[in-house]
């Protein structure tokens, strides 16, 4: 592992050269149309390149599979994804070196630069020693549709589970704590991971329709957050619907709006328009997050944060991590090859353009380093593949214990009753209670040692 002092020197060099611009070059205005490439002279003499940015804007698009940024390139607008693709460096063969493709694991990998030994392998960012500042803003087991969030057993949230420093932590150390550092997302884990140990994190509570935080970060909310929540922006979507951005006949999946493998989601339905209903509906906020509205709300909050916290207003580089969650939720419920996913990408493009325009107005894109990536990808829905003639199906862990192969294992080792207790990717839980072992044919007793989570 690289020493902390070496990592700090590397960070300082990167900030002065723009070498960490994964998706957008740092230096030169948008109108300069300069490509963010590095020649040999720049690599040998970083001092000749641009000055450090006033803001590092790290954007994570949840489940933004590698083909999605360019799949609908012919219909991208100006100033969003097209700006990044044309003005920045595009790494189109990047991979994460970890097995569990969950939100928190991918976010921590992006936040730290490590794909192993971060201390975070699955589930959530929880903390039993902290509590949410907004009472009743935690997971509602009756309405929560996010399985990893539903698994949360504590209402506290903090980065204590992350065992290494994040980029934002190193920035704080490099600047003697002067850098202003924030993370924002619909998902708690999307915000907490990016903010690191030294920043402040805010995420969207589907129980209250507000952005919230925990006592790890604040003893009480800053006034501007109270004011933002009082504006009730999520509620402004009441009695509206997610409608297509363009005429349906212009979409690749325009003739495939109603697919049997898509989730029904009650009154939300699986065809356009998707009605948000009203805040009285317990699933109102959930419907918002399974649509471009969730990213729009996140962007409005992020823009307010930039203004109220004064990001980029001095010569010390600040950091803002923004994680967009709609692509992930939509991918899970409708699949990445669906009309919903296609329209969401086009609307995400417009949302990014809105954010970049605001940053340009307040800070200047020439003073901003934009980094955009995904925490993980997402497979095609088996039904979609079947329709193309490709064999695919869902796994059924509940049925594995009845499989003939498992029956042979039980017979060989003298196991009676249930052997496989459960599966929670990437972990397989095997019952190791001696009472399940009845002896083998030669009269001996054997035991299977299985490592659990």
166 is catalytic: no
Running DSSP on this structure, what letter comes out for residue 53?
P
Q: How far apart are alpha carbons 47 and 54 in whole angstroms?
A: 17
Residues 6+ apart with CB under 8 A from 69: 81, 85, 90
Q: Where are the beta strands (DSSP E) in 121-256?
A: 181-185, 200-205, 210-212, 241-242
Instruction: Let me know: does 132 contact 155? Beta carbons within 8 Å.
Output: yes
Instruction: Let me know: does 133 contact 221? Beta carbons within 8 Å.
Output: yes
**Which residues are registered as beta bridge partners of 26?**
none
Q: How far is CA 345 from the centre of its chain?
A: 15
Two tokens, residue 234: 């999520």
From 103, 118, 289, 298, the catalytic residue: 103
Q: How far apart are alpha carbons 372 and 7 in whole angstroms?
A: 21
SS3 377: coil
Distances in whole angstroms, Cα of residue 342 to Cα of each of 75, 131, 256, 338: 11, 38, 11, 6
Q: Which of 286, 273, 287, 277 is nearest to 343 (CA)?
A: 273
Q: Which of 174, 170, 222 is nearest to 196 (CA)?
A: 170
Two tokens, residue 118: 């971060």
Burial call 395-415: b when 16+ CB within 10 Å, e when fewer: eeeeeebeeeebeeebeebbb
Q: Which of 253, 378, 276 is nearest to 325 (CA)?
A: 378
Environment class of 382 (CB within 10 Å of its CB; exposed 0-12, middle 13-18, buried 19+): middle
SS3 403: coil
Q: Which of 375, 404, 401 is nearest to 63 (CA)?
A: 375
Tell me the catalytic residues: 103
């Amino acid at each position: 592992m690289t020493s902390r002092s070496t990592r700090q020197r590397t960070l300082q060099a990167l900030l002065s050269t723009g070498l960490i611009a994964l998706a957008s070059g740092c230096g030169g205005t948008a109108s300069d149309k300069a490509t963010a490439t590095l020649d040999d002279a720049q690599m040998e003499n970083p001092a000749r390149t641009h000055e450090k940015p006033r803001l590092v804007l790290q954007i994570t698009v949840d489940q933004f599979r590698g083909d999605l940024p360019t799949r609908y390139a012919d219909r991208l607008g100006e100033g969003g994804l097209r700006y990044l693709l044309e003005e920045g460096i595009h790494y189109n063969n990047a991979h994460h070196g970890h097995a569990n493709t969950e939100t928190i694991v991918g976010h921590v990998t992006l936040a730290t630069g490590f794909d192993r030994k971060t201390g975070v392998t699955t589930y959530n960012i929880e903390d039993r020693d902290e509590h949410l500042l907004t009472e009743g803003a935690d997971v509602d087991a009756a309405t929560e549709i996010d399985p990893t969030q539903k698994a949360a057993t504590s209402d506290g949230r903090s980065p204590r589970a992350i065992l290494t420093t994040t980029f934002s932590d190193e920035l704080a150390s490099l600047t003697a704590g002067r850098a202003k550092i924030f993370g924002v997302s619909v998902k708690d884990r999307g915000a907490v991971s990016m903010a690191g140990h030294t920043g402040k994190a805010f995420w969207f509570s589907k129980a209250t329709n507000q952005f919230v935080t925990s006592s790890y970060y604040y003893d009480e909310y800053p006034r501007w957050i109270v004011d933002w929540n009082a504006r009730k922006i999520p509620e402004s979507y009441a009695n509206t619907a997610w409608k297509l951005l363009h005429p349906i006949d212009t979409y690749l999946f325009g003739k495939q709006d109603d697919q049997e493998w898509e989730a029904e989601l009650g009154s939300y339905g699986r065809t356009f328009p998707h009605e948000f209903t009203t805040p009285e509906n317990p699933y109102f906020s959930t419907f918002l997050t399974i649509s471009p509205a969730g990213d729009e709300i996140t962007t409005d909050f992020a823009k307010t944060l930039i203004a109220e916290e004064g990001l980029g207003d001095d010569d010390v580089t600040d950091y803002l991590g923004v994680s967009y969650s709609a692509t992930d939720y939509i991918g899970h419920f409708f699949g990445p090859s669906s009309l919903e996913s296609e329209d969401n990408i086009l609307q995400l493009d417009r949302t990014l353009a809105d954010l970049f325009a605001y940053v340009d107005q307040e800070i200047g894109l020439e003073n901003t380093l934009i980094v955009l990536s995904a925490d993980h990808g997402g497979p095609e829905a088996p039904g979609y593949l079947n329709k193309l003639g490709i064999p695919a199906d869902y796994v059924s862990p509940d049925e594995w214990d009845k499989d003939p192969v498992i029956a042979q294992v039980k017979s060989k080792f003298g196991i009676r009753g249930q052997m496989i207790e459960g599966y929670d990717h990437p972990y397989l839980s095997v019952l190791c209670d001696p009472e399940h072992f009845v002896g083998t044919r030669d009269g001996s007793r054997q035991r299977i040692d299985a490592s659990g989570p």
